[in-house]
Chain A
Amino acid sequence: MTAPAHSIKRGVSLYSFQEEYFLRTLSVEDCIREAAAFGARGIELIPEQMIPGFPRVSDEFVDSWFSWMEKYGTTPVATDLFLDTKRYPDRWLTLEEQVASFHRDIDIAVRLGARVVRAIINTPPEVMEAAAPYAEDRGVRLLLEVHAPFHYEHPWILQHLEVMHRTGSPALGLMPDMGTFVERFPRVVSERALRDGAKPELVDLIVRTYDDHGDTHALMDVVNYRGGGPVDFGLARQATHYIWTEPKSMLEHMALIGHIQAKFYEMTDDEVEYSIPYDRIVPVLVEGGFDGYLSSEYEGNRHIQDAFPVDSVEQVRRQHTMFARLLGESSGEQQDPVLPTPPAVGAGPGTGPQTTGTGSY
């Protein structure tokens, strides 16, 4: 099949392999090798997950990191930061400390050669604004994750958009998490609830309400009125935490979007995602001229690990087969982008065709 010209690239967040890394059946190098094997060229890392000793990052780790990139033909693309506002038991981090935490994590991204930093959803807009100059000086973009249950009209996101537009900083932008486009309830989640003892009629009510895009606000109450217990409440809460919005809602923000976290819960044997319609998401990204990475974020392991062997590598492989198909690649191997010329590896922000107007509209 052919797809319209685009320069969307494929990547993997090593978050996808959390089950195997946790159990020490895959090392960081193994994760990179597996990602490269199915043609993913961009690597996203959560330093707090896979760099023991964080926030100290040894020269030895950095050397290994770049040697793996060379060995497997991959590129460091993004790191994900956290903001531990509750680091101390008795007080909130001050604004100054929050900004210092950002600076620290920007420095780590730079050392690892990543030009994109995921700013976690709990980041206050004032921290983004205060950290932007530091990021800009170092050629890094801070992208706020737009994570369910948030969406582009939510006040929390609107406050962030206000900062991005008012400052016009090229260092600020958005990182949509595809968990905001959950069209039907992930069955790995409802099936787990059943295994954990949820009442089938309540699971059915929750899943049907979600799939009909009905009103989920009072689901926990209704489940309570119908005799639900903790597992049923947990599932009802999940139904309020997933959201479905039209993928086209990304279009008007495309100039700010620098990276996509391609969340998924289950790639079926047919190589489609059970609950997230990537066949309608990818065309929106193409239409909007997105030129960054679709970065896999597998999160199904936690829902199946009680009853089934987890094979995150196979799940991510299937997602990339799907991406290659939707992006019009002729085989599983990533081909060179068709148009326009992508920024050179290691080039700073603002060099890509889509980033020139970032944040300035």
Chain B
Amino acid sequence: MFDQYIVCEEGFRPLEDGRTGGVVEVRMPYYRGLALSMVEAVDLVLDGQPVPPSRTTLTVHGNTYTFDQLPRTTDDRWEMGERAQLAFETDEPLGPGEHDVAVAVRLRISYMPVPGGGRDSKRLTLAA
């Protein structure tokens, strides 16, 4: 329902901690916040190449989680419309300029018999 807003146009930037990779800001395609245990996947495809979840982390309001931790995280939430940071590692430094960023969010919504969530892709310019 908010698929087109998943990938934020602003805030796409290289990692600043010495590792190679970057950060893309993402929003949850749902009309309420959800405990992180019900966020089943935030899958990233960068320039056509899937980035394994083990090389990504999700940060909500300053709290960073690996995707292994999410299923057990029932006491923190991704709020409605909140810009979370999806950080990812790559083998090579990100080149300057434009990149294709595709994100698929899968949510476990209790009243739905099928997975919730959605997908979005945008061409983003890496912040200098």
A residues with CB within 8 A of B: 15, 18, 21-24, 46, 48-50, 52-54, 82-89, 120-122, 302, 305-306
A-B contact pairs, 6 of them (CB 8 A): A18-B80, A84-B35, A88-B37, A88-B74, A89-B108, A306-B4
Number of cross-chain contacts by CB at 8 Å: 65
Asked if A22 contacts B74 (CB within 8 A), the reply is no
Asked if B110 contacts A18 (CB within 8 A), the reply is no
Asked if A15 contacts B31 (CB within 8 A), the reply is yes
Question: SS class of chain B's interface: helix, strand, loop or mixed?
Answer: loop
Contact for B33 among A52, A86, A306, CB less than 8 A = A52
Asked if A23 contacts B81 (CB within 8 A), the reply is yes
Question: A53 contacts which chain B residues (CB < 8 A)?
Answer: 77
- Sorting the interface of chain B by its residue count into under 10, 10 to 19, 20 to 34 or 35 or more gives 20 to 34
Contact for B2 among A15, A84, A88, A302, CB less than 8 A = A302
B67 shortest CB reach to chain A, Å: 12
Contact string, B73-97, partner A, CB cutoff 8 A, digits 1/0?
0100101111000000000000000
Question: A83 contacts which chain B residues (CB < 8 A)?
Answer: 110-111
Question: B27 contacts which chain A residues (CB < 8 A)?
Answer: 22
B residues with CB within 8 A of A: 1-2, 4-5, 27, 31-35, 37-38, 40, 61, 71, 74, 77, 79-82, 108-111
Question: B79 contacts which chain A residues (CB < 8 A)?
Answer: 52
CA distance A15 to B40 in the complex (A): 25
B31 shortest CB reach to chain A, Å: 5
Closest chain A residue to B80, Cβ basis: A49
A168 shortest CB reach to chain B, Å: 27
Contact for B32 among A48, A85, A87, A306, CB less than 8 A = A48
Closest chain B residue to A22, Cβ basis: B81
Asked if B38 contacts A49 (CB within 8 A), the reply is no
Question: B61 contacts which chain A residues (CB < 8 A)?
Answer: 52
Question: B108 contacts which chain A residues (CB < 8 A)?
Answer: 86, 89
Which of B71, B108, B110 gathers most chain A CB within 10 Å? Answer: B110
CA distance A48 to B34 in the complex (A): 8
Contact for A49 among B33, B40, B74, CB less than 8 A = B33
Given the known interface contacts A15-B31, A302-B1, the answer about A87 and B37 at a Cβ–Cβ threshold of 8 Å is yes
Asked if B38 contacts A22 (CB within 8 A), the reply is no
Asked if A89 contacts B37 (CB within 8 A), the reply is yes
CA distance A19 to B79 in the complex (A): 14
Closest chain B residue to A120, Cβ basis: B111
